[in-house]
C-alpha cells in the first residue's frame, strides 16, 4: 500500500518531476515490417538532481522487458517495480536503494507495435511492382516520441541522440544525421548514424522505405536531398530548389549557419500533417512535397513554397532554439509562418505574397472572435490537449501579431526588441494603430494604450498655411468627396475597425474610384462582414458594399469577395430562403466581369496571380449554379475523360469542373459520379486523387452523399486522405452528414483518432444554424468527450449558436428581401 501511494504522487501531473535530466540517448531499433512490430534498447545518460528512489519518464503503448541503472562508479541498480501508466503516459521506476545525485546510465529494453494511427513509430504502405508493402515512419510532435522509446518527452529536456537501426537490406533508412556505417548480416542491415547535436525528443525522426532521390549542395556545403517515390524524382525538383534557396535566405537572416551537415526532405505516402520539421529530416505528405507541372494548380505551387520555407525556418527557430514548453507554441509556429512568407516574397516577389498573408490574419481574427478561443500563449494541462493548440490562433494569429509588430516597429527594430521585451507584462494589449487620410502620403501611427483614445489629425487634413475654418468654408464639398479615413493601413494590424456611416460611405466611393490599395479594399470588406456576422451591422449594408467590388480583378480582393459570398450563402437558406436564388444571381453577376477577363484556358506568360484568380472565380460560379459555367465545365470534363493530358481543362479549373459534375449527379443519373470515381481509381498522382476526393461530397443528393462518406472510410482511401472528403459538404448535406457521423463516431475515433475527428467536428457541425441543433450536438458528445477535441468541439458549437443569432437578426431586417431582388436584377 505504501509503495502504491508513493507512485500515485506522479499521476495527474502536467509535467514530469525534476528528479533527473537526460544528456544523451543511445537508441537501437529493430524493425519487423512483416509482423509490424519493433523492439529496441535505449541507454540514457542521466544527471540525477536529488536523492530519490524513483525515476519518472514518458512511455506509451510500449512493453518494457528489462531495466537497469548504472552509476558513474559502475554500481548497477535494478528497479523493484516498473509501473506503466497509460492515462498519464508515464513510466515510473521504483528502486529499493536511494539513488544519489550525479551521473549515471539508464538502460531499458522494450518493444511495441507499428501502429496505423500515423503517430509515434507507425507503418504505412507503398506499392512495389503491384504489390503492397510496408514501410515505417515516425511522427513525434507533439508528445509521441514516447510511443517509440521511453524518454523524457518534453521540449526543454534536450539531449544528443545516437541512433542505430536494423532494417531489411533492400530498404533505405534515414534519420536526423548522416550515416557513419552500414553492416550487412544476410538480409538485414544495421545502419549507424552520427550523434546529433542536442535536440528535443519531438524532433527525432526515422524513415524506412524504398525511395529515389535527387540532391544539390548549397554554397555553404550543406547537402540537400529530396526523397521521392520510385520513378517520381522529377516531381521533387521544385521543392529541392526552394529548400536550397530557403537555406541561403535563412542563413543570412539569422546570421547563423545551418546547424547540421545535411538536410533531407522525404515524401511520405501516409502522414497526419502537411509536414514536420524534424531536425535534418523533414517529412511531408506526398501531395505537399511533389509538384507536377501539368496536374498541380498554381495554388499548390505556392503552398509548397510556403510549406518548405516554413519547415526549413524551423531548423533554426524551433530546432536550434526551442520553446521551453508547449504554452509557447505560438511563438514557434507564428514566427515560422511569418518568416516563411518573408522567404517566399524574396523568391517570388511577383506573387505579392504579403498581400495574401491577409488570409492568415483573417483566419486568426475569425477564430479569435469566439468566446471559446484562447490566448496565443495558453496553459497546457494534459498531454493530449496539446494537439488542440496547433490551430489558427497559434499559427495565424501568432504570425499576424508578429507581422503587426514588425510593421509598426520597422525591420531595424523588430526581432531583437520584440524577442527581448516580449508583449508586456501588465495584461493590457497595447495596439499599434495606423491610419491614412485621403491619401497614402498622409499617414499617422500611434499606440492605443487604453480602452479608448483620441488622435489629432488636423495636420493631415489641411496644409500648414491654412487654418481649419478656412478649409471648411472653401473646400467643404471637395473634402466630403475625398476626405476618407482608412484605419489599419495596408491591413497590417490584428484588429477590427467599425466605421460610422459617413466614413463608411466615403470609403465606398474611394473603392469605386480605385483610390485604395488591395489590402485596404480587402480589409474594409473583411471587417464589414465580421461586424455583420456579429450583428453590429445589417446584412443590407454588407450587400450594398459588395456592389462596389463588381469590377475588381485583384486576386486577394476577389478571393475575399468570393469567401464572403460563400459565407452569406451558408446562412441564407435559413435566414432568407425565399430569395436564395436571387442572392445567387447577385453573386454570379459580381463575378462575371473577372470570369470574362480570365477565361477558362491559361494564357502563355500570364502571372501566377491570374492563374490563382481563374480557379477561384470559376469554382465560385460553378458553386452558385451559373448555367453557362456548368455547360462549359461538363464539356471540358468530357474532354478530360477522352484525353487525360488535355490542356483544355487545366489544373487550375479542374476543381470547378469536378464540382459541377457532382452538383449534377443524382441517384437517377450517376454517370458523372461514376466517371469521377473511375478517375480517382486510375489516377497515378496523389494530386489528382486529392482533387477528386475534395469534390465528391459536394453532391446535394442525400444517397450519393452517404455513399461518398462511406467510401471515405473504405480501404480505397488512405487514412491520411480521408479528411479531404469533408471539405466540400454543403448545407444541403449537413443532416445526412450529421446522422452518418453519429452512427460512425466510435469507429472513426478508434481507427483514426484526432486526425479525422478534428475535421469531422470542424467541417460538419458548423454547417448548422440553430440553437436546437447545438443542444442536440452537446447532448451527443456529453458522454464522448476527450482532451484531444474538447476545445474545437466547444468552438464549433459556439459557431452554431452565433449563426443562429445572426439568422434571427437577419430575419428582423426590413426590406432585405426587396434589396436582394433589386441587386439580382441590376447589371453589375
At 119, phi and psi to the nearest 5? -145, 155
**CA 89 from centroid of its chain's CA atoms:** 27
DSSP state of 202: G
Active site residue 707: no
Per the listing, cell 520553446 goes with: 323
d(CA 727, CA 654): 16
Q: In Å, what is the CA distance from 182 to each residue of 41, 164, 197?
A: 19, 10, 21
Helix (H) or strand (E) holding 625: none
Rg (CA), the chain: 29
Give alpha helix (H) positions in 348-441: 353-356, 358-368, 392, 398-409, 416-421
* 734 contacts 726 by C-beta, under 8 angstroms: no
Per the omega criterion (within 30 degrees of 0), is the bond before 606 cis?
no
- Per the structure block, which three cell numbers stand in for 165? 537501426
Residue carrying the nine cell digits 495574401: 356
Sequence-separated (6 or more) residues with CB below 8 Å from residue 816 = 538, 539, 540, 576, 810
Tell me if 180 sits within 8 A of 193, measured CB to CB.
yes
Report the Cα 811 to chain-centroid distance in Å: 35
- Whether 550 contacts 521, CB under 8 Å: no
Cell of 490: 495596408
Residues 277, 265: Cα–Cα separation, whole Å: 9
CA trace torsion 322, 328, 331, 333 (10° rounding): 80
Task: Note whether 199 and 138 are within 8 A (CB).
Answer: no
Distances (CA, A) of 589 to 519, 593, 822: 23, 8, 12
Catalytic hit among 154, 311, 582, 616:
311
Active site residues: 311
Amino acid at each position: 500500500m505504501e509503495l502504491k501511494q508513493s507512485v500515485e504522487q506522479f499521476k495527474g501531473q502536467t509535467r514530469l518531476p525534476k528528479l533527473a535530466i537526460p544528456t544523451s540517448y543511445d537508441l537501437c531499433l529493430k524493425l519487423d515490417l512483416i509482423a509490424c512490430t519493433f523492439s529496441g534498447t535505449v541507454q540514457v545518460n542521466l544527471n540525477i538532481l536529488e536523492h530519490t528512489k524513483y525515476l519518472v519518464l514518458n512511455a506509451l503503448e510500449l512493453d518494457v522487458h528489462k531495466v537497469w541503472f548504472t552509476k558513474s562508479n559502475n554500481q548497477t541498480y535494478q528497479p523493484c517495480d516498473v509501473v506503466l501508466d497509460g492515462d498519464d503516459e508515464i513510466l515510473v521506476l521504483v528502486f529499493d536503494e536511494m539513488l544519489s545525485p550525479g551521473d549515471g546510465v539508464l538502460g531499458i529494453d522494450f518493444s511495441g507495435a507499428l501502429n496505423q494511427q500515423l503517430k509515434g513509430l507507425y507503418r504505412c504502405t507503398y506499392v512495389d511492382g503491384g504489390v503492397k508493402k510496408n514501410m515505417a515512419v515516425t511522427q513525434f510532435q507533439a508528445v509521441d516520441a514516447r510511443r517509440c522509446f521511453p524518454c523524457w518527452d518534453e521540449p526543454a529536456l534536450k539531449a544528443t541522440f545516437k541512433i542505430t537501426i536494423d532494417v531489411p537490406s533492400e530498404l533505405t533508412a534515414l534519420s536526423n544525421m548522416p550515416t557513419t556505417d552500414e553492416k550487412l548480416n544476410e538480409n538485414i542491415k544495421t545502419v549507424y548514424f552520427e550523434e546529433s547535436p542536442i535536440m528535443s525528443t519531438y524532433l527525432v525522426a526515422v524513415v524506412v522505405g524504398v525511395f529515389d532521390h535527387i540532391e544539390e549542395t548549397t554554397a555553404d556545403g550543406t547537402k540537400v536531398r529530396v526523397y521521392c517515390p520510385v520513378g517520381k524524382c522529377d516531381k521533387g525538383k521544385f521543392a529541392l530548389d526552394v529548400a536550397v534557396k530557403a537555406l541561403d535566405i535563412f542563413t543570412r537572416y539569422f546570421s547563423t549557419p545551418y546547424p547540421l551537415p545535411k538536410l533531407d526532405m522525404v515524401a511520405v505516402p501516409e502522414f497526419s500533417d502537411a509536414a514536420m520539421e524534424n531536425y535534418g529530416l523533414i517529412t511531408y505528405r506526398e501531395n505537399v512535397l511533389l509538384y507536377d507541372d501539368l496536374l498541380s494548380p498554381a495554388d499548390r505551387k505556392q503552398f509548397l513554397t510556403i510549406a518548405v520555407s516554413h519547415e526549413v525556418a524551423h531548423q533554426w527557430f524551433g530546432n536550434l532554439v526551442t520553446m521551453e514548453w508547449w504554452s509557447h507554441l505560438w511563438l514557434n509556429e507564428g514566427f515560422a509562418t511569418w518568416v516563411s512568407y518573408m522567404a517566399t516574397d524574396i523568391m517570388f516577389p511577383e506573387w505579392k505574397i504579403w498581400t495574401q498573408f491577409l488570409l492568415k490574419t483573417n483566419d486568426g481574427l475569425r477564430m479569435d472572435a469566439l468566446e471559446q478561443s484562447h490566448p496565443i500563449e495558453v496553459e497546457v494541462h494534459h498531454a493530449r490537449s496539446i494537439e488542440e493548440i496547433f490551430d489558427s490562433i497559434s499559427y495565424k494569429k501568432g504570425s499576424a501579431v508578429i507581422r503587426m509588430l514588425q510593421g509598426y516597429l520597422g525591420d531595424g527594430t523588430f526581432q531583437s526588441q520584440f524577442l527581448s521585451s516580449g508583449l508586456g507584462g501588465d495584461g493590457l494589449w497595447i495596439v499599434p494603430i495606423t491610419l491614412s487620410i485621403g491619401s497614402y502620403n498622409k499617414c499617422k501611427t500611434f499606440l492605443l494604450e487604453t480602452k479608448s483614445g483620441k488622435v489629432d489629425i488636423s495636420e493631415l487634413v489641411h496644409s500648414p498655411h491654412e487654418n481649419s475654418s478656412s478649409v471648411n468654408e472653401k473646400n467643404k464639398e471637395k473634402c466630403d468627396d475625398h476626405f476618407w479615413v482608412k484605419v489599419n493601413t495596408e491591413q497590417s494590424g490584428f484588429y477590427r475597425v467599425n466605421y460610422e456611416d459617413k466614413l463608411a460611405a466615403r470609403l465606398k466611393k474611394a473603392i469605386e474610384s480605385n483610390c485604395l490599395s488591395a489590402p485596404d479594399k480587402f480589409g474594409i470588406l473583411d471587417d464589414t462582414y465580421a461586424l455583420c456576422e456579429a450583428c453590429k451591422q445589417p446584412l443590407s449594408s454588407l450587400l450594398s458594399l459588395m456592389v462596389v467590388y463588381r469590377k475588381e480583378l485583384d486576386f486577394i480582393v476577389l478571393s475575399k469577395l468570393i469567401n464572403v459570398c460563400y459565407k452569406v450563402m451558408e446562412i441564407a437558406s435559413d435566414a432568407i430562403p425565399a430569395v436564395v436564388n436571387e442572392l445567387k444571381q447577385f453573386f454570379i453577376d459580381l463575378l462575371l466581369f473577372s470570369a470574362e477577363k480570365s477565361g477558362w484556358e491559361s494564357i502563355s506568360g500570364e502571372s501566377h496571380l491570374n492563374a490563382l484568380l481563374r480557379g477561384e472565380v470559376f469554382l465560385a460560379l460553378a458553386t452558385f449554379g451559373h448555367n453557362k459555367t456548368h455547360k462549359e465545365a461538363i464539356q471540358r470534363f468530357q474532354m478530360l475523360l477522352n484525353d487525360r493530358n488535355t490542356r483544355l481543362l487545366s489544373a487550375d479549373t479542374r476543381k470547378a469542373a469536378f464540382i459541377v459534375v457532382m452538383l449534377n449527379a443524382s441517384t437517377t443519373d450517376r454517370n458523372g459520379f461514376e466517371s469521377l470515381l473511375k478517375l480517382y481509381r486510375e489516377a497515378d498522382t496523389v494530386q489528382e486523387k486529392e482533387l477528386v476526393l475534395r469534390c465528391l461530397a459536394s453532391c446535394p443528393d442525400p444517397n450519393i452523399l452517404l455513399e461518398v462518406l462511406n467510401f471515405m472510410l473504405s480501404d480505397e482511401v488512405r487514412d491520411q486522405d480521408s479528411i479531404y472528403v469533408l471539405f466540400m459538404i454543403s448545407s444541403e448535406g449537413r443532416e445526412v452528414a450529421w446522422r452518418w457521423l453519429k452512427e460512425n463516431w466510435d469507429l472513426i475515433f478508434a481507427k483514426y483518432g484526432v486526425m479525422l475527428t478534428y475535421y469531422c467536428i470542424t467541417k460538419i457541425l458548423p454547417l448548422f444554424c440553430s440553437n436546437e441543433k447545438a443542444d442536440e450536438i452537446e447532448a451527443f458528445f456529453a458522454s464522448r468527450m476527450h482532451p484531444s477535441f474538447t476545445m474545437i468541439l466547444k468552438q464549433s458549437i459556439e459557431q452554431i449558436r452565433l449563426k443562429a443569432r445572426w439568422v434571427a437578426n437577419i430575419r428582423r431586417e426590413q426590406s432585405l428581401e426587396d434589396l436582394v431582388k433589386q441587386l439580382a436584377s441590376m447589371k453589375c
